[in-house]
Amino acid sequence: MSNALDLLRPAKWWPEVSWSTTRNDILAGLTGASVVLPQAVAFAAIAGLPPQYGMFAAIITPIVAALFGSSMVMVSGPTTAISAIVFSSISGITPPGSAEFFQIAILLAVLVGAIQLCFGLFGLGRLVAFVSHSVLLGFTAAAAMLIAISQLSPFFGIQSSGHSIFERLTSLYEGIGTANVYAICTAAIALITTVLVKRMSPLLPNYLIGLLAGGLFAFFVVPSNSPIAMVGALPNVLPSFGVPRVNTETIGPVIESAFAIAFVALLEAVSIGRSFAPKTGKRFDANQEIVGQGLSNIVGGFFGAYPGSGSFTRSGVNFSAGAKTPLSAIASSLFLVIILLAFAPLVAHIPVPALAGIIVLVAWNLMSPKEIISIARSDKVEAFIVAVTFLAGIVVGLEFAIVVGVIISLMVFLSKSARPHLAVIVPDGNGVFRNAQVYNLPQCPQIIFARLDGPLYFGSAEAVEVGFQSIGAMHPSQKHLVLILKGVGDVDLAGGQALIDEVDRRHKTGGEFRLVARYQPLLRRLGQLGVLDRIRPDHTFQNKGDAIEKTTAVLNDDICAGCEARIFKECINRPGPATAKHIVAEG
The pLDDT value given to residue 577: 61
| Residue 157 shares a structural domain with residue 274 | yes
| Residue 252 shares a structural domain with residue 324 | yes
Classify residue 55: in a domain, yes or no. Answer: yes
| Residue 504 shares a structural domain with residue 371 | no
The pLDDT value given to residue 110: 95
Q: Using a cut of 0.85, tell me whether the model's pTM lies above it.
A: no
3-state secondary structure of 107: helix
| Residue 39 shares a structural domain with residue 141 | yes
**Rg of the chain's alpha carbons, rounded to an integer?**
32
Classify residue 67: in a domain, yes or no. Answer: yes
CA within 13 Å, CB half, 7? 25
Classify residue 209: in a domain, yes or no. Answer: no
The pLDDT value given to residue 185: 93
Can you tell me the distance from the alpha carbon of 267 to that of 140, in angstroms, rounded to the nearest whole number? 11
Can you tell me the distance from the alpha carbon of 465 to that of 418, in angstroms, rounded to the nearest whole number? 12
DSSP 308: -
Classify residue 206: in a domain, yes or no. Answer: no
C-alpha to C-alpha distances, 11 to 64, 284, 539, 570, nearest whole angstrom: 10, 14, 59, 68
| Residue 376 shares a structural domain with residue 480 | no
Are the CB atoms for 396 and 139 separated by under 8 Å?
Answer: no
The pLDDT value given to residue 196: 93
The pLDDT value given to residue 481: 92
C-alpha to C-alpha distances, 221 to 167, 192, 195, 358, nearest whole angstrom: 33, 17, 22, 20
Tell me how many domains the chain contains: 2
3-state secondary structure of 244: coil
First-to-final CA distance of the chain: 52
Q: Give the strand pairing for 540-541 and 513-516.
A: parallel
| Residue 444 shares a structural domain with residue 541 | yes
- CA-closest candidate to residue 62, choices 292, 342, 317, 302: 292
| Residue 528 shares a structural domain with residue 475 | yes
Per-residue pLDDT of the chain (587 residues; tens, 9 = 90+): 446 677 778 778 888 888 888 998 998 888 788 778 778 888 898 888 988 899 999 999 999 999 999 889 899 999 888 898 898 889 888 888 888 999 999 999 999 999 999 988 887 766 666 777 788 788 778 877 877 887 888 888 887 766 667 777 888 888 888 888 999 999 999 999 989 988 888 767 787 788 889 989 988 888 877 778 887 777 777 888 888 888 877 888 889 889 888 988 888 788 778 767 877 788 888 888 999 999 999 999 999 999 999 887 788 778 877 788 999 999 999 999 998 888 777 777 888 888 888 878 877 876 778 888 888 888 888 889 989 988 988 887 766 777 788 888 888 888 888 888 888 988 877 778 888 888 888 888 888 999 998 888 888 889 999 999 998 888 888 899 999 987 777 789 999 999 999 999 999 988 899 999 888 888 889 989 999 888 877 889 888 888 888 888 888 888 888 887 788 877 777 776 644 444 444 44
Q: Which domain holds residue 526?
A: 421-573
CA within 13 Å, CB half, 391? 7
Classify residue 125: in a domain, yes or no. Answer: yes
Can you tell me the distance from the alpha carbon of 168 to that of 54, in angstroms, rounded to the nearest whole number? 24
CB atoms within 10 A of CB 99: 9
C-alpha to C-alpha distances, 496 to 357, 422, 448, 531, nearest whole angstrom: 61, 16, 20, 6
| Residue 400 shares a structural domain with residue 434 | no
Classify residue 498: in a domain, yes or no. Answer: yes
| Residue 388 shares a structural domain with residue 530 | no
| Residue 403 shares a structural domain with residue 444 | no
Helix H, strand E, coil C: the string for 444-511 is CCCEEEEEEECCECCCCHHHHHHHHHHHHHHCCCCCEEEEEECCCCCECHHHHHHHHHHHHHHHHCCC
The CATH number of the domain holding residue 462 is 3.30.750.24
Classify residue 359: in a domain, yes or no. Answer: no
The pLDDT value given to residue 399: 66
| Residue 471 shares a structural domain with residue 383 | no
Classify residue 186: in a domain, yes or no. Answer: no
| Residue 298 shares a structural domain with residue 427 | no
Can you tell me the distance from the alpha carbon of 210 to that of 352, in angstroms, rounded to the nearest whole number? 13
